[in-house]
Structure 1
Amino acid sequence: MKAVRNWLHQPFFIRLLHWEYWSFNTVYGPILPIYLLIGARARSFFFFSAANPGIRNGGFLMESKKEIYDLMPACAYPQTAFFTAGSLPDQVIRSVREKGLTYPLIAKPDVGARGRGVRKIGNDAELSLYCRECPLDFLVQEFISHPLEAGIFYCRLPGEEKGRITGIVTKEFMTVTGDGQSTLRELVLREDRYILQLPDLEKLYGDRLNDILPAGGKKELVPFGNHARGSKFMDDSHLADDALLNVVDQLCQQIPGFRYGRLDIRFVSWELLKQGKQYSVIELNGSGSEPTHIYDPRHSIFFAWKEIIRHWWLLSRVARDEHRKGIPYLTVKEGLQLFRDDAAFNKKINTIRV
């Protein structure tokens, strides 16, 4: 029995027995025919590009985070500085200081890829290293220390003056608690979710994984809520109410050309968020957004398929409405080029140390 338990804690079996870790093609492949039917109804398989006219490609792939932030009220997102690939470290450090940004900071590529390349920066040396290692345009922004993070999915359908919340995911960050005897590595190996992150943690922490955490001491290993970086996602869609919708809708109505997507928000408490206080939108994602509440471990793959299809249908309704107003879909040539650009981009971003 012990041998069986050991096998089940190997990365291969962890992934096999928990659908939330399956590959994109494995999850989406079985329902691709439904997407094709929805695309046929829209008369374009690239209908997603029209859903958010204010965002490049509708926010499906290769959209710029900086361009999205520029659409939002400045008070709604972290103070942010943009830098082109190859920017000299001394110039970046000087510019960050001139903007009044202080450590800790968050550095991340301007085009995102499921948390890849996002790093918490604690000093000039770490920022200088990031500048040298990142081969892409990137952002440096203030670190929002609010304790809670949620992804709130929003869409505004044709004929609706007010949008709707279609899902809420809350995020439990990758954190270990010490016992005064075990190393960080040993604590990580006790949690299946964290075992899968060990290769990246080894790159990030190196020999510090041999440190012993005091009894009761907590260590947040990854300071942001990304499923691909070890966070646990929980479906809290039941928290959607009129107060929350009023806050989210009021913000989204101020973002030109945004009707469908997910807002990833850091905040102090649900009570204050529902009053529109003490929150910051870490990222706004467009038509390529997943309804990430599906990744709650309590949900089956069948629930996930149902929610993905439901959101594809909502996306198509928004996109077709915008298309009727004159917003073009990507042509086949443009759509295929978009996927080629994304493939090339992923090769680059995968060269960045986590």
Structure 2
Amino acid sequence: MSLFLHKLLHWEYWPYQLVYVPVYFQWAWYSFRARSLFFFNASNPSIKNGGFFMESKKSIYDLIPQQYYPKTELINACASMNIIRQKIEKSGIQFPLIVKPDMGQRGTAVKKINTLEELLKYAGKGEFDFLIQDLIPYENEVGIFYVRYPDEAQGHITGIVSKEFLIVTGDGISTLEDLLRKDPRYAIQIPKLKREMGKRLAEVLPQGEKRNVVPYGNHVRGSKFLDASHLVTPEITKVINDICIQIPGFYFGRLDVMYDNWLDFEKGENFSIVEVNGAASEPTHMYDPKHSIFFGWKELMRHLRFMFEISVINNKKGAPYLSHKAGLKEYRDFVEHNKKFARF
């Protein structure tokens, strides 16, 4: 099957503008009721624009109790080599580490960095503020969608997605590129991986050796998303709720979490938050290949309803919606900011 046909037959690869067509009509109705296209600003009052766009990841991390996420440092776009070195030394962050834009977009420019030289090259390539972060030592990752209405002490989990990383297994003969071509999901990533890895794609893995080619659970970067909503239990709900009520002004969004094993996670042990996403969060369990586009539409519209209802309640409590003028400016800034990722 050609990659084009594979994408055509699997709606998870369709352009989001197409996937979201029914949602636009629901958004228009909610905007009319709220008298603002940008009502989402009130969904998470402590996060810029509710976490819909132009929010700083570092600002969100600063809201989260520190024991729940890895050591993280902000590097300004104009930082010198010496400042970067000093930040690493002072923070105690060790190589290999993760780098990501402070204001990111769908996993773009998120990378695992192994050496100071690679980090300096990354810094020279980008024109944006970015974060350096300890590599989380756990192998498993889930995205947990959390919703809590203001004044309610208990929130609830509306879906869980588990993530299969882009992992290949060597046969002693095939190159990394050959192994990637055996799976259409992985083959789609080859052009980007060629830019990142170059000649390393010609490496031949020994028989049985596994290689995690993209060590972060991002759908755009080749991870397979599986609906794990059956894992919602009172125990895991309590763990997530206990965390989220400690995040000021956070009511709606997705927590991406890495963990060692599920039993420990349900006890609140051996896990770390990768990041917290706000109003722009998708219920990513919908991207499980077993689900139809109709299931995706149902989930998108269900979660938009949650966000609207939370925003209305917070607005009545004094959290403002964005004005039309301010919202359009933020959107234009968002479009311009994303152009900075062209090299990635």
TM bin (shorter chain): over 0.9
Larger deviation, residues 93-102 vs 211-220: 93-102
1:228 has 2:196 as partner: no
Runs of 4+ in structure 1 off by over 3 angstroms are none
Percent identity for Structure 1 against Structure 2: 47
Superposition RMSD on alpha carbons, in Å?
1.0
1:32-82 deviation digits (Å, cap 9, x = unpaired)? 112211222223221111010110000000100000000110111110111
1:250-287 deviation digits (Å, cap 9, x = unpaired)? 00000011010000001111111111111111110001
Aligned equivalent of 1:306: 298
1:62 has 2:61 as partner: no
Residue 146 of structure 2 aligns with an amino acid whose one-letter code is Y
Correspondence list, 1:46-125, <5 A: 46-125=38-117
Residue 345 of structure 1 aligns with an amino acid whose one-letter code is H
Offset of residue 14 of structure 1: 1.8
Aligned equivalent of 1:179: 171
Aligned equivalent of 1:206: 198
C-alpha distance in 2 between matches for 1:248 and 1:292: 17
Per the normalisation by structure 2, the TM-score is 0.98
Aligned equivalent of 1:128: 120
Per the normalisation by structure 1, the TM-score is 0.95
The answer to whether the 8 Å contact 1:267/1:273 transfers is yes
Match of 2:188 among 196, 209, 213: 196
Aligned equivalent of 2:240: 248
1:139-186 deviation digits (Å, cap 9, x = unpaired)? 101000201100000010245220000010000000101111111111
Match of 2:142 among 150, 153, 168: 150
C-alpha distance in 1 between matches for 2:148 and 2:22: 28
Aligned equivalent of 2:324: 332
Match of 2:130 among 117, 138, 141: 138
C-alpha distance in 1 between matches for 2:82 and 2:217: 30
1:289 has 2:287 as partner: no
SS at match of 2:186: helix
Aligned equivalent of 2:230: 238
SS at match of 2:49: helix
The answer to whether the 8 Å contact 1:178/1:213 transfers is yes
Offset of residue 127 of structure 1: 1.1
C-alpha distance in 1 between matches for 2:291 and 2:214: 24
1:65-121 deviation digits (Å, cap 9, x = unpaired)? 000000110111110111110211232022201211111100111001111111101
1:176-217 deviation digits (Å, cap 9, x = unpaired)? 011111111110001010111111110111011111111111
Structure 2: stretches of 5+ with no match in the other structure: none
Offset of residue 248 of structure 1: 0.3
The answer to whether the 8 Å contact 2:94/2:134 transfers is yes
C-alpha distance in 2 between matches for 1:350 and 1:300: 32
Residue 85 of structure 2 aligns with an amino acid whose one-letter code is I
